[in-house]
Each structure stands twice: as C-alpha cells, then as structure tokens.
C-alpha cells in the first residue's frame, strides 16, 4: 500500500455506474462569509448624545444590494431522447419546457458568478432568480443542452469531475472533451469543480480505486492515504481545471452531498468561495456559502421543479416589494451585533448611501418602544433618535424605513444592552416582561 501511495492519484477510479445513478447532484460548501455582518461586541459609552453606544461602523464601499432577492439553483445531468436512467436524465423537450417556465414565471436566470457577486454585496440581482448548472460533464450537455440555453440567452455553470472528461480514467464515449469545454469557456460558460473521481469524500467511506491492470477495487482509505486522496479530489481537480482551461475556479459541487467539516476546510483553504449540496432550497442573502442547496431535476422527479418554482414564487411575492438594506451599509449606531452599556442610547443610521430618500417618509421603530419621533437631516442623510425611556431586556432591534424613488427600503439591526450596567433600576420581573402589546 505504501508503495502505491505515490501514484494514488493516477490510479483513482470511480465506479461509473454509481455516478449515473446518483440521485441528486452535488453539494458544496463555501468558504466566504457573508457581507452583512457588522462589528462584534462594542461597549458603549454614557447616554450623552453623540457618545452613547457609539460603535465603530464598518466602512462600506459597496453598492447597496437588495437582500430580499432569492435564487433557485438547478442541476441537470444528461439530456437524452430515450430515458434509461431516470435518476440522471431528462429529455431535451422537458428541459426546454422548464427553461421556458422559468421565463414565464418571471424568474430571471443569472450566472453563478452574479449570484456570488450579489452575496459579496457587489452587484444587485433581480428579486427572483435561478442559476442553471450541468453536472458531471456529458457530451449531451454540450451538444443538446447548450443550444437550448443559447436559445434563451441563459448563462450556466458546468460542474466537471476531471477524470470523467474524455480520455480520463472515467471518461467514456459519452463524456465531454477538453476541446468542448474550451469552446464553452470561450463563449462565457462558467466551468467549476466537481472533484476528480466523483466519490464520497469522507474519510473511511467506501470508494473505488483503480488498481494496476485497469481493475477497480472497493476500498476505504484512512489517515495519510485518505488525506492524499481527498487532497487530489478537492484541490487537485481545481488546479487541473484551472491549468487545462486557464480559468479561475471558485465553486465546488460535492458529489452526492457527501462531505463534512474537514472537507469544507480543505475546500475553503483551496480558495473555493462556494460549495454546493444536493438539498435544494431557495438561496437567500444569508444562506451559508459552504452548503448552498441545488435542486436536481431528473426525468423521474418533475415535481421537484414545479415545487421549487412555487417556492420562490410565493416566498417573495405578496406585499409591495421592500428592498432590505444591510445595516452595515447605513453605518448604524449602535452597530449591528454590538453591545452598549446604557439603556438610553442614541440611535443613528445614515441613509446617504441609499439615495433618493423622500424626507417625509423616514421612520424608525424600536423594539419595546414602537415608532419613535426621529430627526432626519436630508443634507447628511442621517436619521437619529435619542432614547428617552429606558430600553428593557438584553437586546434591542431597530427598523428604519423610508421611501427611495417611490420604493420602500428598510434596514433592521439589533444591538445588545449590558444588563448590569443598563438595567440597575429596572427589576428583574420588569425585564422579563415582554414588549407591551398594542
């Protein structure tokens, strides 16, 4: 075994039929943390104006993005006229019909990179979006799927496991070729990683390894042998894609969704920004980037698609659209997540970055107090309120809303109140009393 270690990566093979069967796409996890978080604990000062609870506000140079947007990520495998493996195949006609349904439902298909840029707070996306991905690298994705996507003008992502490209140890006649991938790359298709051999990435789990003579053997790797193997799966596959295609890979789809914290850490360290699982769910501004769920759409599960579209259709519909603005973008005081040592803080936010604020529309609500009489300075965009009635409890949530060019914008944030310092005159019983009901 030891002798074999050095050439392990070359020997790795994957049971192809297993891949054909896998019930859902891949998963991934992500390394990048979300942008909305603001400062941590900060002790506030006295209740005096301008001092109370003043917490350092993060400097922001980003666009203010709509944090209420949602995105569905779909994953497809082979496109074939005659379904033989309903778990990983769909007919071109069904696929095209689904692409049209997205359009008809008012769901905008965006690129994976736009989704990530939105998560970084760099770019806005429409309120209801979808990202389309193709897994495993089948030639039907190039020959059949791509032309359909072109017809709609939709961007998409290819998740490739490198040994499954034509010529690799797992790349047979139905596999996509490196030349086809290069053609897609040249035409703006996003190409991302899906390991080397498409297997369970957790230590000690059954995998197939290619042995001498092209035979495959089932085995379980642990310790250094496992580490070497998983490194090639997570990091080696990324490097190979980047080198062969001259691209930057920042997304990792985990085969079968089988990973754990160790694998996530490897992926994070390798520079992956997002990791994807197979547990489909609408992606929001706060979805953890190391486990973004994708919906695997197969011939035997048409309802998955219908339900996903319904999910995003209802969850963001309804009342008039409100654009959620990150508290960090408003340089709030006290800062989101900070703690003050007074029950009478000065509460401030700067709406200057939002732009187009209608002065009469600015409102502030404070938990435990309700709507409060704010002062708003149109010149600086500062909205402020000096609390005059002691805040109760250990935390306080503030909601600032306003109209910006006819659209309602809203920001929420929460700060802590150091009970010992702030609540001395308030009895424990009073503190435990919930907000008075109206």
Chain positions contacting Zn ion, by CB under 5 A = 26, 135-136
Neighbouring C-beta atoms of residue 39, cutoff 10 Å: 17
First to last CA, the chain: 72
Question: Cβ of residue 149: shortest distance to Zn ion, in angstroms?
Answer: 19
Query: Closest distance between Zn ion and the C-beta of residue 256, in Å?
Result: 8
Residue 131 CB, nearest approach to Zn ion (Å): 16
CB of 254 or CB of 340, closer to Zn ion: 254
Nearer to Zn ion among residue 96 and residue 135 (C-beta): 135
Query: Least distance to Zn ion from the beta carbon of 159, Å?
Result: 7
Point out the residue whose Cβ comes nearest to Zn ion. 135
Sheet strands side by side (includes 382-386)? 346-350, 382-386, 375-377
Q: How far is the CB of 85 from Zn ion (least distance, A)?
A: 13
Taking CA 413 as the corner, what is the angle to CA 288 and CA 340, rounded to the nearest 5 degrees? 115
CB of 257 to Zn ion, least distance (A): 10
Give which of 319, 280, 312 is closest to 298, Cα–Cα. Answer: 280
232 burial via Cβ count (<10 Å: 0-12, 13-18, 19+):
buried
Distances (CA, A) of 376 to 35, 332, 349, 358: 27, 14, 10, 10
Count, residues in the chain: 438
- Output 68 or 258, the one with its CB closest to Zn ion: 258
Nearer to Zn ion, 193 or 391 (CB): 193
Q: Are 75 and 134 in contact (CB under 8 A)?
A: yes
Q: Which is nearer to Zn ion, 78 or 392 (CB)?
A: 78
Least distance CB 22 / Zn ion (angstroms)? 6
| CA dist., res. 230 & res. 248, Å (int) | 20
Cβ distance to Zn ion smaller for residue 197 or 401: 197
> Which of 44/171 has CB closer to Zn ion?
171
Q: Residue 53 or residue 257: which is nearer to Zn ion going by CB?
A: 257
Q: Are 14 and 237 in contact (CB under 8 A)?
A: no
Integer Cα distance of 210 and 229 in angstroms: 12
CB neighbours of residue 86 within 10 Å: 11
Q: Are strands 363-366 and 370-372 parallel, antiparallel or unpaired?
A: antiparallel
């Amino acid at each position: 075994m030891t002798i074999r270690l050095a050439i392990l990566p070359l020997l790795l093979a994957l049971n192809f039929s297993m891949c054909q069967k896998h019930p859902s796409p891949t998963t991934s996890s992500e390394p990048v943390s979300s942008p909305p978080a603001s400062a941590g604990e900060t002790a506030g000062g006295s209740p005096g104006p301008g001092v109370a609870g003043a917490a350092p506000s993060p400097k922001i140079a980003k666009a203010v993005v709509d944090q209420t947007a949602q995105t569905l990520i779909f994953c497809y495998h082979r496109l074939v006229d005659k379904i033989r493996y309903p778990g990983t195949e769909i007919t071109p006609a069904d696929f095209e019909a689904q692409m049209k349904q997205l359009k008809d439902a008012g769901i905008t298909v965006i690129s994976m990179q736009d989704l990530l840029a939105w998560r970084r707070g760099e770019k806005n996306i429409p309120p209801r979006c979808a990202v389309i991905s193709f897994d495993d690298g089948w030639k039907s994705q190039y020959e059949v799927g791509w032309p359909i996507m072109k017809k709609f003008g939709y961007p998409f992502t290819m998740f490739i496991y490198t040994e499954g490209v034509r010529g690799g140890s797992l790349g047979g006649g139905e596999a996509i070729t490196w030349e086809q991938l290069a053609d897609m790359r040249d035409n703006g298709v996003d190409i991302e990683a899906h390991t080397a051999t498409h297997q369970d990435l957790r230590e000690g789990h059954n995998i197939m390894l290619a042995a001498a003579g092209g035979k495959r053997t089932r085995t379980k790797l642990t310790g250094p042998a496992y580490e070497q193997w998983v490194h090639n799966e997570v990091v080696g596959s990324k490097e190979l894609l980047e080198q062969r295609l001259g691209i930057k890979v920042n997304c990792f789809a985990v085969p079968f969704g089988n990973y754990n914290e160790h694998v996530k850490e490897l992926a994070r360290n390798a520079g992956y920004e997002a990791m994807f699982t197979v547990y489909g769910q609408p992606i929001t501004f706060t979805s953890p980037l190391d486990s973004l769920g994708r919906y695997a759409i197969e011939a035997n599960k048409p309802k998955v698609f219908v339900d996903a579209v319904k999910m995003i259709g209802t969850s963001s519909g309804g009342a008039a659209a409100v654009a959620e603005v990150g508290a960090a973008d408003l340089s709030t005081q006290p800062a989101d997540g900070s703690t003050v040592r007074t029950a009478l803080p000065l509460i401030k936010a700067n709406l200057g970055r939002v732009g187009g604020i209608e002065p009469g529309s600015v409102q502030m609500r404070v938990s435990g107090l309700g709507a409060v009489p704010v002062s708003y300075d149109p010149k600086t965009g500062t909205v402020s309120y000096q609390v005059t009635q002691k805040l109760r409890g250990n935390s306080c949530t503030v909601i600032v809303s306003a109209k910006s060019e006819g659209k309602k914008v809203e920001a929420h944030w929460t700060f802590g109140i150091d009970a010992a310092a702030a609540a001395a005159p308030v009895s424990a019983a009073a503190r435990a009393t919930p907000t008075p009901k109206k």
